[in-house]
Amino acid sequence: AQKITQTQPGMFVQEKEAVTLDCTYDTSDQSYGLFWYKQPSSGEMIFLIYQGSYDEQNATEGRYSLNFQKARKSANLVISASQLGDSAMYFCAMSLKADRGSTLGRLYFGRGTQLTVWP
């Protein structure tokens, strides 16, 4: 069974500081993708960053980077230079890719981490 675990219900960080949000995953599949989404209080799920299971380099997107440690099955999100607008719920998610290209786009989500950035 596929599972995503986010052990930090809430995190606090001061503006301009860096913060790491933890995510571990469990799957026996070899081909999968890992995602981070941001959900402000408005409810919309905003895509931040993606890491493929065969990618050798850690993914980066602007102030977001994904610390991918495959052997430990962890995919932590690092936000550098936090801004007040980063305050939101953050979800780690995983999808699997079936053999021979068939689509298995289902996302498995963790419970999320509420990030609060203070001035």
Partner 1 sequence: DAGVTQSPTHLIKTRGQQVTLRCSPISGHKSVSWYQQVLGQGPQFIFQYYEKEERGRGNFPDRFSARQFPNYSSELNVNALLLGDSALYLCASSRGRGTDTQYFGPGTRLTVL
- In the complex, the residues that contact partner 1 under the rule CB under 8 A are 4, 31-33, 35, 37, 42-47, 50, 52, 91, 93, 95-98, 101-112
In the block, which residue shows the tokens 């799920």? 45
The alpha carbon dihedral of 67, 34, 113, 1 has a sign of: negative
Residue 21's beta-bridge partner residues?
A: 77
What is the rounded distance in angstroms from the CA atom of residue 86 to the CA atom of residue 7? 19
Smallest distance from partner 1 to CB 25, Å? 13
Identify which of residues 105 and 119 has a Cβ nearer to partner 1 in the complex. 105
CB of 87 to partner 1, least distance (A): 17
Nearer to partner 1, 9 or 119 (CB): 9
Tokens at 91, concatenated: 């979800």
